[in-house]
Structure 1
Amino acid sequence: MYTIGQVAGFLGVSRDTLKYYEEKGLVQPKHDETNGYRKYNQFDIHDVITTNFYRELDLEIKRIQEIKNSNEMDDLKHVLEEKEAEILKELAYKKLLLKKIKSVKEDCVKIREQLGKYTIKEMKPLKVEGELSDYTAYNEYEIIRNNTEKMKKAVTLTSARRVIHFDSDEIKMDKFIVVSKLDDTAQNHNGEVLAHPKCIYMVLENGRAVNGGKNIDDEVGEKLFEIARENGYELLGIGYINILLTTYVEGIERVFLEMYCPIK
């Protein structure tokens, strides 16, 4: 037989927790008639261990009481299956969070290495899921939530692309699309798939901390044509711009973008 203090010590629970379990009928140690002290036998200790397990599963006390008072093994099996499904769902979400963290870390490296430079790079296949009228058309963001990997609270714009069509004089068309990544273009997919083997790739900086939020299209266009002219690249007159990351300088946004401009 063990005292409440001993049980609390070797099971790592507080005396108050053990008293609470007793109050709820989850453990019923005998009380010494001479001094009123609780005496826990091996079965009482099993009750505490089992109750702790159920509490670790975030089962409510009422549910634990139901399990304890049920004679059906299937009742316990059903409860465990429910918790298993919840945990698997949470694990899937945590994996998504880890994937997002990895992606943002990679974007940080990309910004550090590519900002202010350019390279020739493939734009990997993207499936077009829909179209937005603008990044600021927040009432249209349902298409982002429905067609991309979901976060519980956050709407991320990594799946949105600004698409510009241009010539040497001006931007001819400007639209915003929602995309999802594909492994390759050989798969059978319904809808439009974008893929370009050779692009001028640049990381750009925008935002109020940099330029007060003014339009940088002309500046970017001049840089793009300069690169093409100096290297003999023939632009296809289209560009895809993606928001990589937003950071802050004294509370004012620095927005980093990546741009793919296909060439022949």
Structure 2
Amino acid sequence: MKHNAEDYKTYVGKKAGILIAGIILCVVLFLITISVGAITIPLPDVIATIFKGPGGTGLFDRALWNIRIPQALTAVVAGAGLAIAGVAMQSVLRNPLASPFTLGLSNAAAFGAAVGILLFGAGTTGSTVANAVVVNNPYLTTICAFVFSLATTAIILAIAKIRGATPETMVLAGVAISSLFSAGLMAIQYFVDDTQLASIVFWQFGDVSRASWSELGLIAAVVAVCSLYLFCKRWDFNAIDAGEETA
């Protein structure tokens, strides 16, 4: 028993060390990211501007607080949300290779976004080079993508319940559904015009260049609520990951 306790402490210590190292690396990359761009800002000036806070009227203040910091924070928060969702998915399926692509959720979301752009005209051509192609209704496009990915999740769970809720069944069902939505997405891309096609491809690439503080707050709120729920269920995920016999 004592040996197991020591092994567990060592395991937790390694995980804590990796987490701390990851946070430090994230902070360093964050500072480097917001220092480069059309205007290169020296790192000492970046740090000084951050500690000074928003509200400044200087060039560095406006470039950092109005453009670069919300964009970089949006990328960090979105990445954190994807990482947490991936951990939960891998735990439920007991498969380290499990991902939204494996279960077909990514292709379903892309298909839903394409439907939103095609049916609701969410993709337009801007008047400037910087905004040559924009998704003028990102919230509607996101809702369509979410609805299709949620419907795909429901289908996979229904198939798993009918055929027996095993991780292998869920993965196989996800692969089949992924191929179906991938074919549907290619069919949509074939029939849409150039502007809509560019908007669909642009949405699939992902972009934070137009992120603002309001959008960052919305994304952070969603990620925080979902993360809190998953944190409260952490022991359930551990039991699932340990297997039926251990659970």
TM over 0.5: no
- Which of the two has greater helix per residue? 2
- TM-score w.r.t. structure 1 length? 0.23
Taking structure 2 as the reference length, the TM-score comes to 0.24
Q: Which has the higher strand share?
A: 1
